[in-house]
């Protein structure tokens, strides 16, 4: 496949380059979504790759390993245990990157034969894509000093990621295992796009875990807005002003419990807010998910890169 041809994906190219199972497997291999090699956990030597439908498997031929079961090449990847075809998986990833509604997904669907995607399937794959975006952002964030300060407002929320194991194959992603079912803390200053993300150690979101992460990123004297999670209640002990906001209320994500506007919403925050109201297939992503996805899309727009390539973790 010519690289230039897929610098910018569209539906016609999806059909042409990712329309068959074989094309998709080759593409997944090249992009590190399926591993090309694997070490035997016992012998620490390369296992043999047997390319057999659907994706092939690994086998070690040394000693006792000869009698052991084969390891599917899909183990620990996007494609482990999938009930969809490979072209369907890539099609849904494409749909996510272009914010297709359910109607558009069904209308443009070149990958399915006879059966329409269920709402649950669409919702699941959009969630996996969001997780991939969060992992991408975690990988690429660079911290420049602390955010907030006296008179500044920082919104903080935690979000659970990794309902499904996500793994980028050979890319040596540090978070591939650490993120499974883990809490991620998101912190953003109003009027800024400098979002800080931290994985909560040991999958705990107690005050003992959250407060040090907050102090690492947020200056003393900041007004911090959080949801009603009790771990935040000790924030005033650390020199912060604490306000509680009902983030999960889909009607009023930035409005305080007493009904007053808690902030002057700057222009891009209005965009974030609009983003909130989009059709999320009855599976509303929470505050941090939405902000991360928003920033990811904004970055793509700014740099004029291709969202499908970006979702795959390709650098341009």
Q: How far is the CB of 50 from Zn ion (least distance, A)?
A: 15
Nearer to Zn ion, 69 or 282 (CB): 69
For 45, half-sphere exposure in the C-beta direction (CA atoms, 13 angstrom radius) is 8
Q: How far is the CB of 136 from Zn ion (least distance, A)?
A: 34
- Per CB under 5 A, residues contacting Zn ion are 40, 42-43, 60, 62, 65
Nearer to Zn ion, 3 or 66 (CB): 66
Nearer to Zn ion, 47 or 312 (CB): 47
Q: How far is the CB of 60 from Zn ion (least distance, A)?
A: 3
> Angle at CA 186, nearest 5°, toward 144 and 313?
75
Q: How far is the CB of 79 from Zn ion (least distance, A)?
A: 24
Q: Measure Cα distances from 102 to 120, 272, 278 in Å.
A: 11, 21, 12
Q: How far is the CB of 65 from Zn ion (least distance, A)?
A: 3
Burial class (CB in 10 A: 0-12, 13-18, 19+), 78: buried
- Pair 222, 150: CB distance under 8 Å: yes
| H or E segment and range at residue 134 | helix 119-140
Q: How far is the CB of 69 from Zn ion (least distance, A)?
A: 12
- Pair 156, 186: CB distance under 8 Å: yes
Let me know how long the chain is. Answer: 316
Q: How far is the CB of 76 from Zn ion (least distance, A)?
A: 18
Supply the DSSP symbol for 63. G
Nearer to Zn ion, 8 or 46 (CB): 46
Longest dimension (CA), the chain: 70
Nearer to Zn ion, 45 or 101 (CB): 45
- Pair 132, 311: CB distance under 8 Å: yes
Nearer to Zn ion, 68 or 278 (CB): 68
22 CB contacts (<8 Å, ≥6 apart)? none
- The dihedral through the CA atoms of 90, 96, 100, 101 has a sign that is positive
Nearer to Zn ion, 72 or 241 (CB): 72
């Amino acid at each position: 496949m010519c690289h230039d041809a897929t610098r910018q994906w569209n539906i016609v190219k999806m059909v042409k380059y990712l329309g068959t199972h074989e094309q998709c497997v080759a593409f997944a291999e090249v992009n590190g979504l399926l591993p090309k090699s694997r070490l035997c956990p016992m012998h620490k030597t390369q296992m043999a790759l047997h390319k057999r439908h659907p994706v092939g498997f690994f086998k070690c031929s040394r000693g006792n390993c000869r009698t052991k079961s084969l390891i599917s090449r899909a183990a620990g990847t996007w494609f482990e245990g999938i009930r969809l075809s490979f072209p369907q998986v890539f099609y849904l990833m494409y749909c996510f990157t272009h914010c297709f509604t359910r109607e558009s997904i069904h209308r443009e669907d070149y990958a399915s034969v006879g059966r329409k995607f269920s709402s649950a399937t669409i919702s699941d794959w959009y969630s996996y894509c969001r997780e991939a975006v969060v992992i991408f952002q975690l990988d690429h964030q660079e911290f420049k000093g602390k955010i907030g300060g006296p008179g500044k407002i920082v919104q903080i929320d935690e979000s659970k990621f990794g309902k499904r194991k996500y793994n980028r194959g050979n890319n040596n992603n540090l978070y591939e295992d650490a993120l499974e079912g883990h809490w991620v803390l998101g912190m953003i200053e109003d009027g800024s796009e400098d979002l800080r993300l931290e994985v909560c150690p040991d999958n705990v979101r107690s005050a003992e875990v959250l407060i040090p992460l907050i102090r690492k990123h947020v200056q003393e004297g900041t007004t911090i807005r959080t949801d009603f999670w009790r771990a935040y209640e000790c924030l005033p002990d650390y020199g912060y002003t604490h306000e509680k906001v009902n983030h999960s209320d889909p009607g009023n994500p930035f409005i305080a419990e007493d009904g007053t506007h808690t902030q002057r919403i700057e222009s891009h925050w209005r965009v974030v807010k609009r983003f909130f109201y989009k059709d999320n297939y009855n599976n509303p992503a929470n505050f941090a998910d939405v902000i991360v996805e928003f920033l990811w899309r904004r970055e793509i727009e700014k740099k004029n890169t291709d969202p499908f390539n970006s979702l795959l973790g390709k650098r341009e």
